[in-house]
Every structure is written in structure tokens, then in C-alpha cells.
Chain A
Amino acid sequence: MSRPPLSVRRFLLRLFLCLLLCLAAAADRPAAAEPEEELLIGIEPEHNIFEQMERYRYLAGYLSGQLRVQVKLTIMSRYGEVIERFKSLRLDGAFLTSYTATMGINELNLEPVVNPVNLNGQSTSQGYILVRKDSGIRAVEQMRGKSIVFVDPATVEGYLFPLAYLEQHGITDSNSFFHRFSFAGSHASAIFAVLDGRADIGAAKDTVYNRLVHNDPSIGQELEIIAQSPKVPEITLCIRKEIDPELRARLAEVLLTMDKTADGRKVLEQFKALRFVKSSKADFDGVMKMEQEARAAWRNTENN
């Protein structure tokens, strides 16, 4: 799949930067007395980053006020940047999808703190492998020679799961099995690529798929889900171990109890979540298992 032209990408980058400046300013807000401590939290980009940043802006403002700590946000330019960003930007924490959270826990010894529960009552997501209903593709053997679109190498639902699924069916080399494979950059883009016929097969997460179908039911009528992954934590706030344990405990406490106060519920509504629930390292066992299952396919794809 071709990428948009350089000028569009530059435009996007400029918008990112402007947005970040605005958000940093917004997060400064509670300041009757300016807090000195600061927490820099990273966010992985979603399809519509404007909408995403708006949601997180409210949360950052609320946390700043409750913790008396300046909570700043920074968006990572793509999935999987977590390791580099934690080092280069000295992030204190990040809202991470399950793959990057697993990497962060394993490689940086990050501590999973909480998961948001979405408006459907779920704190987990699962991967879907999708095709157009009129494609005639229903099983792996019919995928040979077709095109597949993944989301990003650092996603469970959009890459690790489809690789594990293919490997379970004896396919360990996407390069030779598919006519073409590509990365869409977001779950929604992967879904749109299949809808438009820009790819024959796509992988994406259920929460994004369900939201798109809710907004436009014709999407559900056109697509067929042919495989589903086990459920994994969708988003997890992970924090560096070096953060003051007292601040870490207060952060968890504020997030876990915010659905009990009127102000907290208002912010949750803007954040599009019902509440936060506690997270633990054991929640990521399923991701580790999938990673082992996909190992040969992953290696072959990386080598090409």
C-alpha cells in the first residue's frame, strides 16, 4: 500500500506538534499554586488523533488537579516507539496497547497500573481477521496469493495475532504466501483498506471494528470475521518503577476511584470510559503465549 505523499505527512507532523503544544498548555491548567512535580505520560496514536488527544486532555487536567502534579502528555509518532521514547524523552509512564505494554514490562520493568473500561463495559480487546463477504475467502488456504494488511508490527490484534493464526495453519512466511502485505498504521485504516478492496484480508481489533459498525452498520454487512484472538488488555497505564511509590499509589488510587465522584465521572465521560480497573503483569500472559506461537512467522517477516 502506498503511503500518502510527503507533503501530507509533513502537514500531519506539523499538526502533531501544534497539538502537543496546546495540550501541554492545557495540562498546566489547575494551577492555583503551580505544582512543581511533573509526570510525562506517553500515548500511542489512534486513527483520529485529534479526537484521541481531546479525550486524554481532560484526563490529564483532572489528574494534575487531583495529584497536585503537572501531568503532561506526549503522543508517540507510531506504535512500538515505547522503548525508545521511555529512554529519550524520559517518560514517566504511558497508556500502552497490549504489545507495547508487554515489551515495556519485560524490557523496562514497567509496572502495569490500571486499564480503562470502555463504554461497552470492556477493558480488553481481541484481534479479528477480516475479509469482504463477497471475497470468497473463508479460510487460510484461500488466502494464498492475496494481499493482507496488518496494523503495525507492535500490535497484538493487528500483527502478532494474525501471524500466530497463520503459523497455526502452517504459514510461516507472509512474503511468499501473500501476493502483498502492508501495514496500515491504524486499526481503522486496516478495516477501511479491506472495505475499499485495497487489501483482501485485514487484521484489526474488535473495539475499533465495533465502533465503526456502530457508526455505520453497512460496514458490518460487508465484512466477515473469519478468526478471533483471545482477549488481551486493550490499554494499560504503565509507570516506571523509579517513580516515587507514594505518587504511584496516589495515581492508582485517583484513577481507580474517579467513578465515585461527580467530577471524576464527568472526566470519565469525556474520556469515553466507565471506570478504571486494576492491572497486573499476569494480564499479559496471553500476549507472551501468542508471541511464542508467532515466533517463526515473525522472524521470517522481519528478515525480508
Chain B
Amino acid sequence: MLTVLCVLAAGDLHAQKRIGVIMTGDVPYYGAMHEAFVSELNRRYAGGEKIEIILQKPFPDSISWSNAARKLIAFDVDLIVAYGSPAIQAVIHEKSRIPLVYAGLYEPDHEEVAGKYATGCGFKVPLTSIIRYFKQLKPLTTLGIVYSSIEEDSVRQYEAMKDVAEQQGIRVAKIDIRVHADLEQLKTAKADAIFITGSSLAHLWLADIMTILRKPQVPVADIFPDDAEAGVLMTLSQPPHIQGEMAAGMAAKILRGEKPAKILACTFRDTELVFNLVEARHMGIDFPIHLLIEATRVIE
């Protein structure tokens, strides 16, 4: 478990407020969200009260999430911010009275996060669009879905994608990642394309996943952005900074005394579509022009 102390606003060594932050995993999506959170909070508190942030990036497993949540409760922070469903659920499970602001939660309406002490924001990505774009690139008989059965939101994304695929007569190959050795399943999945859910474990090992899939030239789609350009062919994702900024706004209100239950939670549905043409060329995939013009961004 990695704990980082980050003090906003220099000067007084004794911070007046402390925020504990837990990421479901040390993945770039939550990293970008947190960066936007800190930046927005800095902006709101410029020249004002000192805020200390205790950031925890546990390895994605149940015990680590629980330990991270308990540690922040033991620190008696003024507010907990959690990114991603497993971290959020770990905090809620502890039944603390410390206010919680969540972000990066997939379909918040489908999780029991509402309560006296919690508010936050989440996102939803239309999974059918990913299948639609795959089908325009190559025949799709079997879709491999990478998820992690220990991450609740990843399981829901797996189930939603499976339903959509099966409705369209596409077989689904289930690739459950719990330990690194599970990546071996990718070698025998015989999928025409792979969809990666928002699993922290999958994203922790994204480079390894791409290495395995590059040889058989299996195209990959993801609902997190591939900012490191690991080789994902297309991403349809909700921009993380928007949730980070929204979470900062909510955190600021709570630190000023507003009750979390009075702050409306929200679900972001805006997305960005990115095609990686470098990867497409490597795979011998020709992107039709009418598809390319749909992209928010094209990696060349």
C-alpha cells in the first residue's frame, strides 16, 4: 500500500482540514481524476484554509481496499474521497460517519451509495457503441471480455456487454483477471476482438495484456482512455478530469459545512472516442473514412 502525503498551499505546517483519498488501483484513469481534483481544490482554496491530502493507492484486492479505508478512518480525516467502485464500497462497508465523496463510479444508480454521509459522481459509457464500431472494422463472431470478478463495477460492465453481444448473436469469451497468471487465458480465448472493462487489475497489467494480444493481432477496445498509448485500438471513455473537478466542488462544499445528503449526486454520460491508427496499421485494419470522422481524436 502506498501512502502519499500532499500538502496544498505552503506555509502553516498544521493543516486545518484533512482529506483522505483512496484509489481502487494505481491506474492512470483514477490518477487523472485525482490530478483534476487536487487542481480544482487548490483553485477553490487559493490563499485560504490549508488542506492536507492523504492519498492511498492500494493494490486492487479486498483486504487492501479495507485496510486503506480503515487507515483513513483511524487518521480521523475530515472527508474521504474514493475513486472506483471497490474503494467506494470498502469505505461504505466501514460504516464510518466521515463524509464520503465518490468519483469514477460506473452507473452510480446501480450501486447502493446514496446515504446520509455520501455523495459523488460517476459515469456511464454506451457499450453498444463499442460493438457497433468493432463490427465496422471486422467480422465479430466472438468477443472476449476482460473483467475482474472481485471488482463489482467491472462485473456489471461484463454482464451488460455480454447481454448486448448475445442480443446481436455474438459469442462471449469470459476472461476473469484476479491474479497475473489469469492473463494466460488471453492466449486461448480465440476472440475476434477484446473489450476491457474498467477493472483496476486489468489496467494495472494493461501493457502485459497488450503484449499478449499484439502477436495474434486482436483489436482491443477500452472504456478507460489509453493515455500511455499501450496499443488499445479504440477507447470510448468519459473524460476523468470532469469527475475530478466535480468531486472537488462537492468536497469543498462539505468542508464548508454542507451535508453530503444535500448535495446532488450526478452521472456523467459525455464521452470521447479515440482511434489508434498506428495500432490499426500494425494489425492491417483499414478504418473506413466515415468511421474516422466520428472520432474525437485520432492517434497517428
* Chain A CB within 8 A of B188 CB: no
Q: Which of B7-15, B190-198, B270-278 contacts A (4 or more CB under 8 A)?
A: B270-278
Chain B neighbourhood of A218, CB < 8 A:
128, 132, 164, 167-168
A197 touches B269 (CB 8 A): yes
Partner of B270, one of A47, A200, A219: A200
**Which of B65-73, B76-84, B91-99, B290-298 lies at the binding interface?**
B290-298
Find A4's partner among B128, B269, B298 (CB 8 Å cutoff): B298
A282 contacts across to B, CB distance below 8 A = none
Q: Is the CB–CB distance between B292 and A8 below 8 Å?
A: yes
B3, CB-defined interface residue at 8 Å: no
Which residues of the other chain, A, contact B216 by a CB distance below 8 angstroms?
none
Known: A5-B300, A50-B289, A198-B272. A132 touches B126 (CB 8 A): yes
A198 touches B296 (CB 8 A): yes
- Distance between Cα atoms of A192 and B293 in the complex (Å): 11
Report Cα–Cα, A53/B132, bound state, in Å.
24
Contact A192-B294, Cβ < 8 Å, known A12-B289, A218-B168: yes
**Quick one: which of B164, B167, B168, B270 contacts A198, CB cutoff 8 A?**
B270
Flag if B129 contacts A196 (CB, 8 Å): yes
Q: Is the CB of A47 within 8 A of B290?
A: yes
A34 within 8 Å of B (CB atoms) = no
B103 within 8 A of A: no
Which chain B residue shows the least CB distance to A198? B271
Question: Separation in Å of the B124 CB from the closest CB of chain A?
Answer: 7
- Closest-CB distance, A145 to chain B (whole angstroms): 11
Contact indicator A134/B124 (Cβ below 8 Å) = yes
Query: Known contacts A196-B273, A198-B272, A218-B168; is A48 also within 8 Å of B132 by CB?
Result: no
A198 to B238, CA, bound (A): 9
B269 A135 Cβ-Cβ under 8 A: yes
* Contact (Cβ within 8 A) A132 B269: yes
When chains A and B are docked, how far (Å) is the Cα of A2 from the Cα of B273? 10
A102 part of interface (Cβ distance < 8 Å): no
Q: Are the CB atoms of B167 and A4 closer together than 8 Å? A: no
A50 to B291, CA, bound (A): 13
Q: Does A160 contact B (CB under 8 A)?
A: no
Q: Which residues of A contact B270 (CB under 8 A)?
A: 147, 197-200
Which residue on B lies nearest to A1, using beta carbons? B296
Minimum C-beta distance from B128 to chain A (A): 5
What band does the interface of chain A fall in when counting residues whose beta carbon is under 8 Å from B? Answer: 20 to 34
Residues of A within 8 A of B272 (CB): 198
Partner of A197, one of B271, B289, B292, B295: B271
**From A193, which residue of chain B is reached at the shortest CB distance?**
B294
Distance of A30 Cα from B272 Cα, bound (Å): 48
Is the beta-carbon distance between A222 and B128 smaller than 8 angstroms? yes
Q: How many A-B residue pairs have CB under 8 A?
A: 72
Q: How far is the CB of A156 from chain B (nearest CB, A)?
A: 22
Q: Which residues on A sit within 8 Å (CB–CB) of B273?
A: 196, 198
Q: Is A22 an interface residue (CB 8 A)?
A: no
Q: Is the CB of B295 within 8 A of A4?
A: yes
Number of interface residues of B (CB under 8 A): 26
- Is the CB–CB distance between B298 and A8 below 8 Å? yes
Contact A189 B269, CB 8 Å, known A195-B132, A196-B236, A222-B128: no
Q: Are B289 and A15 in contact (CB under 8 A)?
A: yes
A303 at the interface (CB under 8 A from B): no
A196 touches B168 (CB 8 A): no
How many angstroms from the CA of A11 to the CA of B288 in the assembled complex?
A: 12
- Closest A residue to B123 by CB, please name it: A197
Minimum CB distance partner of A197 in chain B: B271
Bound-state Cα–Cα, A302 to B167, Å: 44
Q: Is A71's beta carbon under 8 Å from chain B?
A: no
Of all chain A residues, the one with the shortest Cβ separation from B168 is A218
Q: Are A195 and B300 in contact (CB under 8 A)?
A: no
Q: Do B293 and A185 touch across chains, with their CB atoms under 8 A apart? A: yes
B 257-283 binary contact with A (CB < 8 Å = 1; else 0) = 000000000000111110000000000
Q: Given A197-B270, A197-B271, decide whether A222 and B300 contact each other with a Cβ distance below 8 A.
A: no
In the complex the two chains form, what is the Cα distance from A193 to B293 in whole Å?
11
Q: CA separation between A12 and B292, bound complex, in Å?
A: 10
Of the candidates A5, A185, A197, the one whose C-beta lies within 8 Å of that of B298 is A5
What string of 1s and 0s marks CB contacts (under 8 Å) between A179-192 and chain B? 00000011011001
A304 interfacial contact with B, CB 8 Å: no
Q: Does A216 contact B (CB under 8 A)?
A: yes
Contact code string B111-129 (vs A, CB < 8 Å = 1, else 0): 0000000000000111011
Q: Which residue of B lies closest to A9 (CB)?
A: B293
Chain A residues close to B by CB (< 8 Å): 1-2, 4-5, 7-8, 11-12, 15, 47-48, 50, 132, 134-135, 147, 185-186, 188-189, 192-193, 195-200, 216, 218-219, 222
B interface residues with partner A (beta carbon < 8 Å): 124-126, 128-129, 132, 164, 167-168, 236, 238, 269-273, 289-290, 292-298, 300
Extra pairs beyond A2-B296, A48-B290 (5, CB < 8 Å) = A4-B292, A196-B236, A198-B270, A200-B270, A218-B168
Closest 6 CB pairs of A and B: A197-B271, A196-B129, A197-B269, A48-B290, A2-B296, A218-B128
A-B contact pairs, 11 of them (CB 8 A): A8-B293, A192-B294, A195-B132, A196-B271, A197-B124, A197-B126, A198-B296, A200-B270, A216-B132, A218-B167, A219-B132
